[in-house]
Amino acid sequence: MPDPHDFHTPQPSYTRDELLRSSEGGYFGPGNAQLPAPPMLMMDRITDISMDGGAFGKGHVVGEFNIAPGHWFFDCHYRGDAMMP
């Protein structure tokens, strides 16, 4: 499996366009992880990401998602008792 660093230099944050590029395999190379494409991409941006942060020093991610009434999951998850947001 290729080294992801051969394809992409890690950044401290990512825009929606950058997240979409990741869902197309544009960051980590063939055979490596990628984010899901919409509508399963449940983030609009990553505002903070690190490999060594978090409570146990194993990494930390802060993502944001703009909730809208028309999102697909409102019609199918727990109708009448929404779990989102």
Q: Which of 5, 60, 71, 77 is catalytic?
A: 77
77 is catalytic: yes
Omega within 30 of 0 (cis) for the link into 12: no
Interatomic CA distance for residues 81 and 77, integer angstroms: 8
Residues annotated as catalytic (active site), given as ranges: 77
